[in-house]
Structure 1
């Protein structure tokens, strides 16, 4: 009908009176072509709608190694983000004060690092000179390392010279002067430390017994927050020997594979004993951990229900669970995995549950020679620093449990441009693993569930988390997300023109 009207219209001599037969044929061909295009579009639309209405997910039908490199390795959300730690125009250079703060840093490497950064800011607030901190030598690891063994001391002093006066040791005339020993209240803000300046009326020297968690995570002036970042990410550089070997190990990893995952596998004896997690262990191993917990005086909780711990998501993932997790995310068996951790409890007997799925697993002892590691032996904080460097430089970082190392690396990677960091949702993963073990789920279904569950847990830009709702009083400060785990937005800007 349409064609008939179109042809009769073309034959009208008022429209065209030259070669009507040729033009009629041409118009007819054009009309047929246009009509075929129209039908094709309608048909394609129906096909697309049918595809969209098919049962989801498509990922469920993909094999683990079918995901593209960009999905597995790239942090597409990092574009436009960069560190911003410059002081504001109101910030004044440090003054020379005859009041001094000495500090005993407590905990492992990353607990001490965060505590030292806090104490730099505290010294600034209290208008005091900071003496190079003493490191913890009585912790679980019994590490005798000094500040200069782990950090570049001169670099630390020089980098902070516009912020805080830092000295290697007390002046001789003050070394025997009585000092006030102070336990500063945890997660305190500006007003608290401004009140503490009253101590200078009667004392010239304050000794801080613990350095960890001395400052609040939030509601501090921008310049104080940025000072914390300058202290942690710029001033606290590792010693030349640690930094040099760390870079060498990264280069050796890159020579084996273009990309690698740094896995912080917290399946170590002290962690399992402390958390009371015995899932997958033998009765003898479980008893050994119980005795260790019972005999460790500063661990307050002695009786722990391992099943409840695991269901609540408080246990480190086991090597087997990590293997299933990585497989479900889509990483191929050939993936190079660096284990950033100490000795795995149970050795190869438990580690084999990971290496059976991912055979390319390496430790620092496999990358470095005995001679290179000789000076680091029996110094847990120094070997932890090597793990830290390799984890920061990895293409993907995955911690099997939350802790000081996991939080510190995540925060540093955010600071450097939100490099890909996948944080397992342990509580929900346990449910999936148990259903898989019971035969209630197929591996393809596990892949889809795990990927969906973790699509928003890969280090993308987000605000720092506050305390859970309903928590009041000082308890809420303890439950806020650590500033050093996510220094956005004070120390991370979207573009250069937003730096304040």
Structure 2
């Protein structure tokens, strides 16, 4: 049985690596109703999937509103702009922790142009090693999870259950560098780039670096719920314990403050 640690060792032999939880899969885009940058055929394909998936309650979604509110996964291109603005060199290794990327190389191309050293499970492990995971999506996700926990940097393009769990695990292990993108703030900047109001360069780097000064997985107590709310609405505004188990589970950690 292939052990995650073996893959982590292979990655570290290449050098430092970023684990990018790239939630740009068909089911995620369909579920969230996010269609920015897609063509009409792809948008229709996602709409049909959403409308025919019985357990998804929301059928009609305003894609533009979703994106403006920061409720969409970052696109591969946006992730590339983001990581470059944070100062990561094009030579760094990026492990793509995800399922099949929607549109494949069509949408991965810009990220690969900026960061050629993209690596996936099937390029890190042999076909024989991955055979046991072919029909077990949860086990494949577990590989991604452990590789993400042990990475030099973890970056989720969307805040889902796995991203929260990885961030909390990394906090428990000593507040390892986890960059949680401010999607709403970033979308506003990306739209300015698209309109020509802002260019990639020093100004963008300054804005993005400042925006993420306190989004790096550094020690802080878990956020409580917003005052005046009750029931489900109260729970929705409370930071997940799995995302930040401080202070209960790491109050004695020497790296905590």
Q: TM-score, normalised by structure 1?
A: 0.50
Question: Who is 2:141 aligned against?
Answer: 384
Partner residue of 2:98 out of 314, 318, 341: 341
Deviation at 1:378, TM superposition (A): 1.6
Question: Who is 1:274 aligned against?
Answer: 31
Partner residue of 1:310 out of 52, 67, 74: 67
**CA 1:271–1:474 in 2, change beyond 3 Å: closer, same or farther?**
closer
Question: Who is 1:289 aligned against?
Answer: 46
> Is residue 2:169 matched to residue 1:420?
no
Partner residue of 1:463 out of 210, 213, 221: 221
Deviation at 1:428, TM superposition (A): 0.5
Question: Who is 1:323 aligned against?
Answer: 80
Question: Who is 2:7 aligned against?
Answer: 249
> Is residue 2:225 matched to residue 1:440?
no
Question: Who is 2:55 aligned against?
Answer: 298
Q: Deviations over 1:272-293 (max 9, x none)?
A: 0000000011110000000000
Please say if residues 174 and 253 of structure 2, whose CA atoms lie closer than 8 Å, have aligned partners that are also in contact.
Answer: no
How far, CA to CA, are the matches of 2:61 and 2:125 in structure 1? 39
Deviation at 1:268, TM superposition (A): 0.2
Question: Who is 2:207 aligned against?
Answer: 449
Deviates more, 1:342-351 or 1:474-483: 474-483
Secondary structure (helix, strand or coil) at the match of 2:240 reads: coil
Deviation at 1:254, TM superposition (A): 1.2
Instruction: List aligned pairs for 1:333-372, cutoff 5 A.
Output: 333-372=90-129
Deviation at 1:484, TM superposition (A): 1.0
Deviation at 1:436, TM superposition (A): 1.2
How far, CA to CA, are the matches of 2:227 and 2:253 in structure 1? 33
Please say if residues 22 and 158 of structure 2, whose CA atoms lie closer than 8 Å, have aligned partners that are also in contact.
Answer: yes
* Aligned pairs, number: 254
- Segments of 5+ residues of structure 1 without an aligned counterpart are 1-240
Deviation at 1:495, TM superposition (A): 4.9
Question: Who is 1:373 aligned against?
Answer: 130
How far, CA to CA, are the matches of 1:300 and 1:427 in structure 2? 24
Instruction: List aligned pairs for 1:216-231, cutoff 5 A.
Output: none
How far, CA to CA, are the matches of 2:98 and 2:106 in structure 1? 17
Secondary structure (helix, strand or coil) at the match of 1:300 reads: coil
Secondary structure (helix, strand or coil) at the match of 1:261 reads: strand
How far, CA to CA, are the matches of 1:334 and 1:481 in structure 2? 35
Instruction: List aligned pairs for 1:57-68, cutoff 5 A.
Output: none
Partner residue of 1:411 out of 151, 164, 168: 168
Deviation at 1:474, TM superposition (A): 4.7
How far, CA to CA, are the matches of 2:230 and 2:133 in structure 1? 45
Deviation at 1:382, TM superposition (A): 0.5
**CA 1:468–1:325 in 2, change beyond 3 Å: closer, same or farther?**
same
Q: Which has the larger radius of gyration?
A: 1
Q: Deviations over 1:391-435 (max 9, x none)?
A: 000000000000001000000000111000000000000000010
Question: Who is 1:491 aligned against?
Answer: 249
Q: TM-score, normalised by structure 2?
A: 0.96
Moved over 6 A (4+): none
How far, CA to CA, are the matches of 2:169 and 2:107 in structure 1? 30
Secondary structure (helix, strand or coil) at the match of 2:224 reads: coil
How far, CA to CA, are the matches of 2:227 and 2:94 in structure 1? 38
How far, CA to CA, are the matches of 1:283 and 1:429 in structure 2? 25
How far, CA to CA, are the matches of 1:465 and 1:353 in structure 2? 36
Partner residue of 1:477 out of 225, 235, 240: 235
